[in-house]
Structures are given as structure tokens and as C-alpha cells.
Chain A
Amino acid sequence: MTARRPVITSFGFAGLFPVLITVLMAALMLLPIGSGAANIAMPHLVIISVFYWLSSRPLLMPYGACAILGFLLDLWLDVPMGLNMVLLLLTRLFVLNQLKHYKGRSRLVHWAIFTVLTLGLYILSWLIVSTVYGTLWSVKPIALQWGVTAFSYAPVAFVLGRMRRMVL
């Protein structure tokens, strides 16, 4: 009996593309884009990318990859360590359970589902951060970032879709 190989390896280098492009998204989130202000809400490109790849090629974004991506983001963004790990793992859990209901539906449906999912994730992250720091965190910046992230899903997913057709 031979040991089961992870599906991600059966695509060769192309199988790593979703993870690599998501790491690039994480780095992009750190760049001083636009005015370079830390006061400008940056869309959560990593959640967008992870949701997109899980909805289109779930096998190429395993739990381990979600955990590592979340860990890297926690290190680089200076948020409580473990926060983005939890968010990305829950994203995968959600998509694997709900994909059968929206697979093959229009982009608008995907967008709506992403918006609802991220609303839940941001509420959870607000609860986690408030618990970790022992103080009720301001809701406004979190609501702003949720809005920016939800709005950015369509254009970012469009670009990722073009990339997917070229590589996979």
C-alpha cells in the first residue's frame, strides 16, 4: 500500500500557485501604497484570495496552508498572534461546508456570500482582539475595513480569475 500524496503536489509547481499568490497578497498588504498612510484601511487581500481559491480550487488551499498564511500575516501585521490563523481556518471550514450550495452560481452570489462571511469573521476578530487586550476595541475602523474588503472582492477576484486561467 502506497502512502497518499497530498493533492497539492499532483499539479506540480502550478499547484503551489494559489498559496504563493496569497503570500504575495500578504506582502502587498504591508506596502505603503497610495499615500502611505497607516490611516487608510487596506482591504484584507489574504482573506479575499483564500476565499477565491477555496471556492474555485479547494484542494490547492489545504488547512496547513491556511494556518501558515495566517501565522505569517499575524507576524507581519502586529495583530494578536493566532488571530488570522483562526480567521483563515474558519474560512476554509465555512467554504468546505457551503460550497455545494453556491458552486457554479454567478459571481454576484459569490460576492454576497463573501460579504456575509467576512462580516462574521470581522465580528469574531473584534471579539478576539477585545478579549486579548482586555478592552472594548473601537468598532468604526473594523467596520471600515470590512466595507473596504467586501467592496474589493469583485475586482481582486476578477484578477485572480484571469491568473487562474493562465496558470491552472
Chain B
Amino acid sequence: MWLYMVLAVVLLGLEATGQGLPSQLRAYANDFVSPVLRLLEQPIRAVQAGLERIAGVGDIYLENQTLRDENDRLRQWREAAMQLSRENERLRQMLKVPGREVPPAATARVIGVGGGAFERNVLISAGISDGVRRNLPVVDESGVIGRTIQVGRWTSRVLLVTDLNSRIPVRLERTGDLAIAEGQNEAFLMLRFLPEEIVIREGDRLLTSGHGGVFPPDLPVARVSEVGEGYVRLDPLGILGKLDYVRVLDYHAVPDEDAIALPPKNGEAGEQEQQP
């Protein structure tokens, strides 16, 4: 028994001193458990889908009517958005402003969640083989959900925005002021480091500021849900309660080191200039 206990204490010591070994082990351990999770989740997803179908039958007529109205509104919005997009593109070309679209590295399914009390993370079905790397932003259809922290061959672990270790540089959409959205291991986030003179209202949206180099600017992160004495509480915009498919964005804040041209050494500059 004591041998195992000593081993456990050694492992805890490695974690406490920030060694990379536990993290690497975890990344590849997820690859082994992922086939089991995929198998086990099949009946669960089938039951969930069945229950949702049964629940939806009752109000199908009302929902159909609502969807028709929404579809009409969305058509109008689509036309307006396309017109603005074309105009935006033309202006960007005229001013030579580089585009800000971030291509997805992979689209993946959530195959597992961290069920413990100490973490808020999910396991997704994309890894190195799909082009995923550490610290890439992960989004769903509504907003940011987190970033990749461990990447295995076929799976990756995503640290959710609600995790205690998550800090996202954000800006207030209405005023442009900068702050940090901090996870609490709860369903909500807290806003930190916002200048005191800023008047913040419930319903204000927060977008990524682009600082820190992990998240591209202007991705929706959260909405202000409560403003109290000395604290601002946020609801994440990503639908963390119903995560299914997510997108990993292939975002580079700065070019890779290899891609940066090294400065020429003494003597080489002259030679290069002489070349035709």
C-alpha cells in the first residue's frame, strides 16, 4: 500500500512543480479511452434524441409557425448581410486591410466531459492528425467555448471558458473597454480589471479583444447577467450545456517562428543585394 501511496505523492509532486510529463501522458491517454466513449455514447445519444423527439411532438404546430416567421426575418437579414459583406470586402481591398477570417482547423464532436469538481473541460474527437495544436480557440455556433490544452493523436482536451484556470482578454462591445473574463468552475464567469469609471449594463456583450495571442478579435464570449457591488457576472454565449459539434479555429496571432525570415548575417546583406 505504501509503495502506491509514495508513487501517488511523487505524481502529485510532478504536477506541483509544473513538469510536462503528466500533461503529455494525459493527451495520449485520451486517445485510448475515446473508442470506448464513442461506443458508450451511442445508446445515450439515441435515448436523448428519442426524448427530444417525444417532447417536440406536442408543440410542433406552434414551432412550425414560429420557424416560418423567423425564416422570413432571416431572409431579409441575409440580404442585408450579403450586401454589407460585399461592401466591406470592396473597402478592405481599396484600403489594403488584411482579412480577419479565421479558417477552421477541424470540426469535431464532443465525446467526453470532465465530470470532476476541479475542472471544466471536454474531450473532442480531433487531434494532431486533424491539424489541431495546443492553444487553438474552440467555438460553437454561438460563441467561444474554450481553447485546446492537451492534444493527442485523435483527441484533444478543451479547457472551457468556465474553468477556474480560464482567463480571456475581452472588450465591451458597446464601449470598447478592455477587461478579463475569468472562469469560476461554475456556470457563469466574472469580469475582472474593468476600469471603475465604466458604466456597465446588464445585457452588454463581451467580445474577444485579440490580446494574448490565443483568441482572434471579435468572437462573442459572454453577456453581462448581473452587476453588483464590486462584481460583474457574465453568462457565456457558447452553449456549454448542449455541446455537440464544435469548431477548432486555425488561428495564428503571429507567424510561426520558422516562417519568419532570419535577419541576414554581416556580409550576406551585400551579397543578397547584388543578386539579380
Please list the residues of chain A having a beta carbon within 8 angstroms of any beta carbon in chain B.
27-33, 35-39, 41-42, 44, 63-64, 66-67, 70-72, 74-83, 85-86, 89, 92-93, 122, 125, 128-129, 131-132, 134, 137-138, 140-142, 144-146
Contacts and interface: CB of A to CB of B under 8 A. Distances in A.
14 contacts: A30-B37, A33-B44, A36-B110, A37-B242, A38-B240, A74-B11, A75-B30, A76-B26, A76-B29, A85-B4, A86-B9, A141-B118, A144-B117, A145-B117
B123 interface: yes
A32 B112 contact: yes
B49 interface: no
Contacts of A41: 115, 117
Contacts of A64: 4
A132 B37 CA distance: 29
Interface in B112-167: 112-123, 150, 157, 160, 162, 164
Contact of A129 (B4, B10, B30, B118): B118
B225 to A, nearest CB: 14
A42 B115 contact: yes
Contacts of A145: 116-117
A104 B211 CA distance: 62
Nearest to B115: A42
B122 A38 contact: yes
Given A27-B40, A78-B119, 7 more contacts: A30-B112, A30-B113, A30-B115, A38-B162, A78-B26, A78-B157, A134-B16
A81 B4 contact: no
B12 A63 contact: no
Interface of A is mostly: helix
Contacts of A71: 11
Interface stretch (B58-66, B71-79, B179-187, B202-210): B179-187
B253 interface: no
B12 A128 contact: yes
Contact of B11 (A35, A37, A72, A81): A81
B261 interface: no
B36 to A, nearest CB: 5
A39 B117 contact: no
Nearest to B119: A78
B8 A82 contact: yes
Interface in B1-49: 1, 4-5, 7-12, 14-16, 22, 25-26, 29-30, 33, 36-37, 40-41, 44
Contact of A81 (B1, B12, B119, B122): B12
Contacts of A72: 29
Nearest to A87: B8
B112 A35 contact: no
Given A32-B111, A37-B113, A85-B4, A80 B150 contact: no
A36 B113 contact: yes
A81 B115 contact: no
Contacts of B41: 31-32
B115 A29 contact: yes
Contacts of A81: 11-12, 14-15, 22, 25-26
A89 B8 contact: yes
B156 to A, nearest CB: 12
B270 interface: no
A71 B41 CA distance: 23
A67 B117 contact: no
B244 interface: yes
B216 to A, nearest CB: 23
Nearest to B34: A30
B232 interface: no
A9 B112 CA distance: 33
